[in-house]
Amino acid sequence: MSHLHPLDVFRKTIYAEARGEPIDGQIWVAWVIKNRVRLNKDYWGGNSIKDVCLKPGQFECWNDRSDIQIDEPAVYAQVCEVVDPIYNANPGQDPTGGCDHYNCPRKEGYPPWTENCQKVRKIGEHQFYRGPQ
């Protein structure tokens, strides 16, 4: 995975995790990544976008994969257009209020980790949370 540029990892993570979600949902997934980077926790991968996205067990789309295939180039281009400005955005632009988790309750229900988090907003299939700081 060392061959992947951090921006490509960011884009591909959001594409794989949220390509079927509304644009707001894609934006919020991008900010979850950015907020994890800002919070710099070892268990999330530290303080780089690439390390946070690729941290084992954090983003399902990377489990047992060294790259993410782009099967829908037009959808990928739209995701890039939406999330590229977020890549270098400062925390003051965060519309999530610091969300650092999300899940898909329809698939996963509400796992035990959600009990320690504040539910902030549901967008499409994703529930977004802010964890204890």
Q: What is the dihedral of CA 79, 84, 90, 92, to 10 degrees?
A: -30
> What is the CATH architecture of 6-94?
Orthogonal Bundle (1.10)
The 126-130 sheet, strands edge to edge:
101-103, 126-130, 118-123
pLDDT in tens, 66-87: 999 999 999 999 999 999 999 9
CA 128/CA 69 separation, integer angstroms? 26
pLDDT of 126 higher than 90: yes
Check residue 133 and give its pLDDT.
Answer: 74
pLDDT in tens, 79-118: 999 999 999 999 999 999 999 999 999 999 999 999 999 9
Query: Predicted confidence band at 1 (pLDDT cuts at 50, 70, 90)?
Result: low
97: DSSP letter: S
pLDDT in tens, 8-24: 999 999 999 999 999 99
Check residue 32 and give its pLDDT.
Answer: 98
